[in-house]
Amino acid sequence: MSPIERDSLPESWSRVAIVSVSPQVDGGRWPVRRSVGERVDVVAGIIIDGHDKIAAEVRVGHEDDAEPSTVPLKLRYNDEYVGHFDVTTLGSYHYQVSAWVDLIGTWHDQFRRRVDGGENQRELRAELLEGATHLRAAANEADGEDREHLLDLASRMELGHIDAGLSEDVIRLGRKWSPRHGLVEGPRIEVVVDPELARFAAWYEFFPRSTSDVAGRHGTFDDAAERLPRIKELGFDIVYLPPIHPIGTTFRKGKDNAPTAGPDDPGSPWAMGAEDGGHKAVHAELGGIDAFDRFVAKADELGIKVALDIAFQTSPDHPYVKQHPEWFKHRPDGTIRYAENPPKKYQDVYPFDFESDDWQALWLELKSVFEFWMDHGVRVFRVDNPHTKSIPFWQWCIGELRREHPDLIFLSEAFTRPKMMHTLAKLGFNNSYTYFTWRNTKEELTEYAHELFHTEVADFFRPNFWPNTPDILHDYLVYGGRAAHIIRLVLAATMSPTYGIYGPPYEHVDNRQHPDREEYAHNEKYEIRHWNWNDSSSLQPLMRRINRIRRDHVALQYARNIAFHEVDNDAIIAYSKHTGDDIILVVVNLDPHHEQSGWVSFDPQAHDLAAGRSIQVHDLIGDERYLWNGDRHFVKLNPSVMPAHIFHIRHEVSTERDFPYFQ
Stretch that binds its own copies, among 108-116, 239-247, 282-290, 294-302 (CB under 8 A): 108-116
- The active-site residue out of 413, 507, 527, 591 is 413
> Whose Cβ is closer to its own copies: residue 250's or residue 654's?
250
Based on CB atoms, which residue is closest to its own copies, 326 or 355?
355
Q: Determine, following the binding rule CB under 8 A, whether residue 531 of this chain makes contact with its own copies.
A: no
Range 265-283 burial, b when 16+ CB lie within 10 A, else e: bbbbbbbbbbeebbbbbbb
- Active-site residue, 355 included: no
Tell me the C-alpha distance between 137 and 129, whole Å: 13
Expressed in angstroms, the distance from the first to the final Cα of the chain is 90
Q: Tell whether residue 626 is a contact of its own copies (CB under 8 A).
A: no
Q: According to the binding rule CB under 8 A, does residue 110 interact with its own copies? A: yes
Let me know: does 515 contact 475? Beta carbons within 8 Å: no
Q: What sign does the dihedral 332-337-341-347 (CA atoms) show? A: negative
Position among 119, 451, 518, 623 found at the interface with its own copies (CB under 8 A): 119
Task: Answer yes or no whether residue 581 interacts with its own copies by CB under 8 A.
Answer: no
Q: Which of residues 46-85 bind its own copies (CB under 8 A)?
A: 47, 49-51, 78-79
- The answer to whether 291 and 266 have CB atoms below 8 angstroms apart is no
Nearer to its own copies, 390 or 616 (CB): 390
CA 650 to chain centre: 27
Is the CB of 333 or the CB of 516 nearer to its own copies?
333
Residues 6 or more apart in contact with residue 143 via CB below 8 angstroms: none
Q: Contact between 3 and its own copies (CB under 8 A)?
A: no
The CB-of-39 to its own copies minimum distance in angstroms stands at 24
Binding flag, residue 325, its own copies (CB under 8 A): no
C-alpha 251/C-alpha 315 separation (Å) is 9
Which lies closer to its own copies via its Cβ, residue 170 or residue 572?
A: 170
Residue of 341, 534, 655, 663 interacting with its own copies (CB under 8 A): 341
* Residue 86 near residue 70 (C-beta atoms within 8 A): no
> If DSSP codes are grouped into helix, strand and coil, which group holds residue 113?
helix
Regarding 215 and contact with its own copies (CB under 8 A), the answer is: no
Q: Which is nearer to its own copies, 124 or 284 (CB)?
A: 124
Least distance in angstroms from the C-beta of 122 to its own copies: 9
Among 233, 355, 447, 658, binds its own copies (CB under 8 A): 355
- Dist CA 220 CA 208 (whole Å): 6
198 membership: H or E segment, kind and range: helix 196-199
Decide if residue 322 touches its own copies (CB under 8 A).
Answer: no
The amino acid sitting at 633 is H
541 binds its own copies (CB under 8 A): no
- 80 bridge partner residues: 45
Q: What angle do CA 582, 587, 589 make, to 5 degrees?
A: 165
Q: Determine the residue type at 32.
A: V
Q: Are strands 69-75 and 54-62 parallel, antiparallel or unpaired?
A: antiparallel
- Cα separation, 230 vs 363, in Å, equals 39
Burial label for 418, CB within 10 Å (0-12, 13-18, 19+), is exposed
Among residues 39, 76, 86, 126, the one that binds its own copies under rule CB under 8 A: 126
User: Does residue 371 bind its own copies (CB under 8 A)?
Assistant: no
Quick check: 121 binds its own copies (CB under 8 A)?
Answer: no
H helical segments located in 475-566: 475-495, 503-507, 540-552
Asked if 4 is part of the footprint of its own copies (rule: CB under 8 A), the reply reads: no
Q: What is the DSSP letter of 216?
A: T
- Cα–Cα distances (Å) from 8 to 11, 123, 185, 499, in that order, read 9, 40, 23, 59
Per-residue burial over 562-581, b if 16 or more Cβ lie within 10 Å, else e, is bbbbebebebbbbbbbbbee
Q: Looking at 52, 384, 519, 524, which residue is catalytic? A: 384
Choose which of 121, 214, 419, 611 interacts with its own copies (CB under 8 A): 419
Task: Check binding of 613 to its own copies (CB under 8 A).
Answer: no
> In the complex, what is the shortest distance from the CB of residue 434 to its own copies, in angstroms, rounded to a whole number?
16
Q: How far is the CB of 359 from its own copies (least distance, A)?
A: 8
Least distance in angstroms from the C-beta of 419 to its own copies: 4
Tell me whether residue 322 or residue 417 sits nearer to its own copies (CB atom). 417
Q: Does 392 bind its own copies (CB under 8 A)?
A: yes
CB of 228 closer than 8 Å to CB of 239: yes
Of the listed pieces 119-127, 295-303, 304-312, 508-516, which binds its own copies according to CB under 8 A?
119-127
- Binding to its own copies by residue 116, rule CB under 8 A? yes
Closest to its own copies by CB, 347 or 616: 347
Q: Which is nearer to its own copies, 396 or 564 (CB)?
A: 396
> Of all helices (H) and strands (E), which one includes residue 432?
strand 431-432
Q: Is 260 among the residues that bind its own copies (CB under 8 A)? A: no
Q: Is 389 in the site for its own copies (CB under 8 A)?
A: yes
Using CA atoms, how far apart are residues 323 and 9, in angstroms rounded to an integer?
A: 66
Instruction: Choose between 5 and 652: whose C-beta lies nearer to its own copies.
Output: 5
Contact by Cβ (8 Å): 258, 569: no
Q: Cβ of residue 324: shortest distance to its own copies, in angstroms?
A: 13
C-alpha span between 83 and 67 (Å, rounded):
19
Count of residues of this chain found to bind its own copies when the rule CB under 8 A is applied: 62
**Among this protein's residues, is 223 annotated catalytic?**
no
Residue 184 forms beta bridges with which residues? Answer: 99
Closest distance of CB 424 from its own copies, Å: 10
Helix/strand/coil for 137: helix
**Which residues of the shown chain bind its own copies in the complex (CB under 8 A)?**
1, 5-6, 8-10, 13-15, 17, 19-20, 26-28, 45, 47, 49-51, 78-79, 110-111, 113-114, 116-119, 126-127, 129-130, 133, 331-333, 335, 341-343, 354-355, 360-361, 363-364, 387-392, 396, 400, 417-420, 422-423
Active site residues: 384, 413
